[in-house]
Amino acid sequence: MLTTGFKLWFGVFTAAVGAAVFAGYTSGGDETGPLSLAWKGAVGNHFSYGLFVTAAAVALALAIFSVAFRDGDAEAAAELLGTDEAPPAQRPVGGSWWPVFAALGVGATAVGVVVHPAVFVTGICIVAAVAVEWTMTNWSEKVSGDAAHNAAQREKLVRPVEIPVLGTLGVGVLVLAVSRVLLASSVDGAVLVATVVGVVIFGGAIFISRNPSLPRGLVQGVLLLGFLAVIVAGIVTAATGEREFHHKGGGGHATETHAGDGH
């Protein structure tokens, strides 16, 4: 009998294979290349085709593991171990934001391949950070049946590295996204955007510091929405393109126009 995990990952495998074939045919592949993994024929854009093929291979491996271990079912484990009683099941855990961040990183990486290298790098940084954080969260949830003890173990192991590394990556991603917005704006618009962003950050920091009793979840939610808004704005403006700078004569005076404007 096929397990739920197998159905999920096999569905992802099927979608990735379809995406790889579609990418191969639409990027210059011939009749047999995308279907034969380039064994006979061309596959067009090797990067996009290879990315989807890799995703399909990983999904297929996870599907095989899921059905082989029966999704970690307690009764199946007892039958395999030859015991009369099933081992204790893992305690239920709450929701997680990491899938949301992972989807954001993968989306930014895919868009960056087409739009701008800066967006691609941003997506890679997000995916790398999420991979580490999600792995450590998954590990800590299985340490014991005590949620407080699990959280303490995670904090003890990850926090000394998490704060400086993620802080540096977060600041770098935000600066990169804001720079795309400023470069796509006019001279006066860039000054306005920088002023508004600075005032909002400074004012929000003062408000939070003067109200220490604010719920932690509320503060995290506001920061998450702000982070996502800046990332989305950076991706959109990177897709729009930077303004063009032109020098007049031999002087150092420059004028700026957008790429879509008439000269």
pLDDT at 181 over 70: yes
CB 19 within 8 A of CB 45: no
Please tell me the predicted confidence (pLDDT) of residue 15.
Answer: 92
Binned at pLDDT 50, 70 and 90, residue 13 comes out as very high
Please tell me the predicted confidence (pLDDT) of residue 238.
Answer: 77
pLDDT tens string 110-121:
888 887 787 788
pLDDT at 255 over 60: no
pLDDT at 16 over 60: yes
For 87-94, the CB contacts below 8 A with 24+ separation are 88/145, 90/141, 90/142, 91/145, 91/147, 93/141, 93/147
pLDDT at 219 over 60: yes
pLDDT at 249 over 60: no
Please give the backbone phi and psi of residue 259, each rounded to the nearest 5 degrees, phi first: -60, -30
Binned at pLDDT 50, 70 and 90, residue 260 comes out as very low
pLDDT at 14 over 90: yes
Please tell me the predicted confidence (pLDDT) of residue 230.
Answer: 85
Average pLDDT over residues 127-156: 80
Please tell me the predicted confidence (pLDDT) of residue 6.
Answer: 85
Average pLDDT over residues 144-167: 79
Cα–Cα distances (Å) from 262 to 99, 256, 257, in that order, read 44, 12, 9
pLDDT tens string 32-88:
888 888 888 888 888 888 888 998 999 899 888 888 776 666 666 666 656 666 555
Q: Which of 6-20, 63-77, 157-171, 174-188 has the lowest mean pLDDT?
A: 63-77
pLDDT averaged over the chain? 79
Please tell me the predicted confidence (pLDDT) of residue 262.
Answer: 46
Helix H, strand E, coil C: the string for the chain is: CCCHHHHHHHHHHHHHHHHHHHHHHHCCCCCCCCCCCCCCCCCCCHHHHHHHHHHHHHHHHHHHHHHHCHHHCHHHHHHHHCCCCCCCCCCCCCCCCHHHHHHHHHHHHHHHHHCCHHHHHHHHHHHHHHHHHHHHHHHHCCCCCCHHHHHHHHHHHHHHHHHHHHHHHHHHHHHHHHHHHHHHCCHHHHHHHHHHHHHHHHHHHHHHHHCCCCCHHHHHHHHHHHHHHHHHHHHHHHHHCCCEEEECCCCCCEEEECCCCCC
Please give the backbone phi and psi of residue 3, each rounded to the nearest 5 degrees, phi first: -85, 170
pLDDT at 256 over 70: no
